[in-house]
A and B are shown apart, each in its own frame.
Chain A
Amino acid sequence: DVKVTQSSRYLVKRTGEKVFLECVQDMDHENMFWYRQDPGLGLRLIYFSYDVKMKEKGDIPEGYSVSREKKERFSLILESASTNQTSMYLCASSSPYSYTEAFFGQGTRLTVV
């Protein structure tokens, strides 16, 4: 019954590496989101997408980019990973209607060393 799948549960990367975090949803949702979660800071929105090839910046886009080539897949890219990007990354999807729920993946815990 998995609806939003993130490609890795745990990831360790080196400083300066290019990192891809993948997210796939099977609900034909238009909207997809990437958040990061850090202790004491809650869930912060990095980027979201409301359609294929469309993207909008969230509250903390610096150091990240995204790609949405297909409706079901939304990728978060760290062009040159840094230690301050060590975090839990959560992907979510939803339809654009206010009465529908959002679905989250289980999260990817990324450590940059």
Chain B
Amino acid sequence: DAKTTQPNSMESNEEEPVHLPCNHSTISGTDYIHWYRQLPSQGPEYVIHGLTSNVNNRMASLAIAEDRKSSTLILHRATLRDAAVYYCILKKTSYDKVIFGPGTSLSVIP
């Protein structure tokens, strides 16, 4: 299974942009890069996903390296409600398991 590597924790000041990195050097050509986040006392929720091109949605942007071996989740203006654990995972088209790594715990400082 292709694995992802993320920093254990990051800090950001409120209303500043946050760049959350993820390395996935063993990604295969058909793996999609997905990001989820888990707020305290809740189940994980979907944030964004992409294959090769950069993606934007109302929650965040996803920047994917040209060689696809890394990606960055960008929160344009961090709020206190963005304090969560962020998970980067690789999802295949398959009847197969979805594995989560330890994720990055993001703290937002007022």
Instruction: Name A residues whose Cβ lies closer than 8 Å to a Cβ of B.
Output: 4, 30-31, 33, 35, 42-43, 45, 48, 50-51, 56, 58-59, 90, 92, 94, 96-99, 101-107
Contact = CB atoms under 8 A, between A and B. Distances in A.
A33 B30 CA distance: 22
B97 interface: yes
A42 B8 CA distance: 11
A99 B32 contact: yes
Contacts of B110: none
13 contacts: A33-B98, A42-B101, A43-B87, A45-B99, A45-B100, A92-B44, A96-B93, A96-B94, A96-B95, A98-B93, A99-B32, A99-B91, A102-B98
Interface stretch (B15-23, B45-53, B62-70, B73-81): B45-53
Interface in B81-110: 87, 91-103
A58 B102 contact: no
Interface in B19-36: 30-32, 34, 36
B51 A58 contact: no
B99 A106 contact: no
A104 B100 contact: no
Contact of B100 (A4, A35, A50, A107): A35
Interface of B: 30-32, 34, 36, 41-46, 49, 51, 87, 91-103
Given A42-B103, A50-B96, A51-B95, A101 B43 contact: no
A103 B47 CA distance: 11
A21 to B, nearest CB: 13
Contact of B95 (A30, A45, A105): A30
Nearest to A33: B98
B91 to A, nearest CB: 5
Nearest to B87: A43
